Amino acid sequence: MGRWLFDNNKQAIAGRLNDASLNDDVRQFIGDSDDRRRVLTALNYLRASQSPSGVPPIAGI
């Protein structure tokens, strides 16, 4: 996805991790693929890992 952002003159992930425009770019990157939910989930885990607690949630716990 990082390469796609670069190729499409979009800002990098790190600079806008908590910006809603990144979600829009993920949706555009994935399109109607079944992987959309997985990519958005991964992005949410990345965001959580950068939170003050630094601990992403663990599914099932």
pLDDT at 9: 96
- Both tokens assigned to 52: 């003050």
pLDDT on residue 33: 73
State residue 42's pLDDT score. 85
Instruction: Tell me, yes or no, whether 37 lies in a domain.
Output: yes
pTM: 0.65
* 57 φ, ψ (degrees, to nearest 5): -65, 150
Asked whether residue 14 is domain-assigned, the answer is: yes
Q: Confirm whether 6 is domain-assigned.
A: yes
Residue 56 lies in a domain: no
- Show pLDDT as tens, one digit a residue, over the chain (61 residues): 889 899 999 999 888 888 889 989 988 988 877 777 788 888 888 888 887 766 665 655 4
Residue 54 has a pLDDT of 64
Torsion over CA of 20, 50, 48 and 51, rounded to 10 degrees? Answer: -100
Residue 58 lies in a domain: no
How many CB atoms sit inside 10 A of residue 25's CB?
A: 19
In a domain, 54, yes or no: no
Count: domains in the chain: 1
Distance (Å, whole) CA 10 – CA 35: 21
